[in-house]
Amino acid sequence: MLSLYIRISSGVIKQMDINKHIALNDSYKNGKKKPWRLRKKQSNQLANSYKRIGEINKSLRVGSCGNVLLFQECPDGHQKQLVRAFFCKVRLCPMCAWRRSLKIVQQLKSMTHIVNQSHSLKWVFLTLTVKNVSGPELDETIRHMFQSWQRLSQRKVFKDNVKGWFRALEVTRSNSDGSYHPHIHVLLAVTAGYFAGKNYVRKEKWRVLWQEALRSDYMPVVDIRKVKVKRNPNQEAETLKSEEQKRALEAAILETAKYPVKPASYAVPGNRQGTDDAVRHLDRALRGKRMIAFGGVLKQAQQKWNNENNGEAETLTDGEKKECQCATCGSNMLEHLYTWNIGLSNYIEHEH
Ligand SMILES: [Zn+2]
Ligand SMILES: [Zn+2]
């Protein structure tokens, strides 16, 4: 029965293949199409830039990133997951940045959930910035920001209020003057009493703390926002409230764990020289830096998560356990191999 089905389905594929190629179709749970094709094109553009600036090795790696994707699919389309692929893991690679951010979001969601169960916490979203800098200053500036963050997190006022944190670096680039804007996004888990009474740290106080940590002669721009649940007047049930809190926290997680460098920050339209300069500066500045870090209860949760998931965060595949049967209908999952087709500029199913 099963082999018959496989024969029929592969027969169908062959027949369709005569007329047209089967392009990859992979969607998120909400139905939105995953940006495989766009990311691959962006990675190819980065590979070209690396080639122009003489980084041949990186150019080859980024250029072959995600060339071959092996998916496991339910024949009835209930489930589809990426089980094997090669990803280059070059810092600036748009394909890898996308895969990594999916991973971090997934990891943070489960970690914040664990932490919320055992601690009474509130969540705060903090952004720490410095003045814009030029390309050659970027490397040293980021190093200095990380040291400053270290100093800030050692302060008594910080330790008294913050029970856990996750920090991520983001660098944007101004297209008007080509300057760089490195900033740190932090998700802070604060004590339940943080917003009430004498413990509350106002925005102005955060600014002073960050300036002292930076040891800067100017007052840096700081943004701090409570991770808030939008009030719904009809909402009464406690379960609904916790569901909404979860969603507000997830939105903050998405904001914190976005890409460290968006492709738009170095791809200067119609300006190869500008693009290549940006790639050179960003590549050098991000080399060997820890783009994300955890502290306090989130660090403990991360270590636990890593142990339980066996380095899963590093693989960049879908991270779901390889399953032999579809969870919905019980059909045997089938393997489908897609390769990047340069001529068609798309992922095409590889014929068996
Ligand atoms: Zn890559
Ligand atoms: Zn199924």
Domain ranges for the chain, please list them: 21-89+316-352, 96-268+286-314
Which of the 8 DSSP states describes residue 264?
Answer: G
Report which secondary-structure segment, H or E, holds 28: none
Please write the tens of the pLDDT for every residue from 79-100.
888 988 999 999 999 999 999 9
> Is the torsion defined by CA of 235, 239, 240, 245 positive or negative?
positive
Which listed ligand is nearest to 323 at the C-alpha?
Answer: 2
pLDDT at 312: 60
Ligand 2 mean position to 352 CA, how many Å? 22
d(CA 268, CA 198): 48
pLDDT beyond 70 at 119 = yes
Which listed ligand is nearest to 66 at the C-alpha?
Answer: 1
pLDDT at 241: 66
pLDDT at 238: 55
Q: How confident is the model at residue 145 (pLDDT cuts 50, 70, 90)?
A: very high
pLDDT beyond 90 at 147 = yes
Ligand 1 mean position to 278 CA, how many Å? 18
Residue 258, token pair as written in the block:
């976005």
Q: How confident is the model at residue 11 (pLDDT cuts 50, 70, 90)?
A: very low
For the segment 325-344, the average pLDDT, to the nearest whole number, is 91
Which listed ligand is nearest to 44 at the C-alpha?
Answer: 1
Q: How confident is the model at residue 67 (pLDDT cuts 50, 70, 90)?
A: very high
Which of the 8 DSSP states describes residue 231?
Answer: P
What is the percent of the chain where pLDDT is above 70? 87
Please, are residues 131 and 124 in contact by the beta-carbon 8 Å criterion? no
Ligand 1 mean position to 58 CA, how many Å? 10
Q: Which of 41-50, 100-109, 140-149 has the lowest mean pLDDT?
A: 100-109
Order the strands of the 222-226 sheet from edge to edge. 222-226, 121-129, 180-191, 162-173, 292-295
**Average per-residue pLDDT in the chain?**
86
Q: How confident is the model at residue 232 (pLDDT cuts 50, 70, 90)?
A: low
Ligand 2 mean position to 59 CA, how many Å? 40
Ligand 2 mean position to 269 CA, how many Å? 44
d(CA 70, CA 334): 10
Please write the tens of the pLDDT for every residue from 338-351.
999 999 999 999 87
Q: How far is CA 328 from CA 9, 31, 78, 184, 332, in A?
A: 19, 17, 7, 41, 11
Which listed ligand is nearest to 332 at the C-alpha?
Answer: 2
Ligand 2 mean position to 321 CA, how many Å? 16
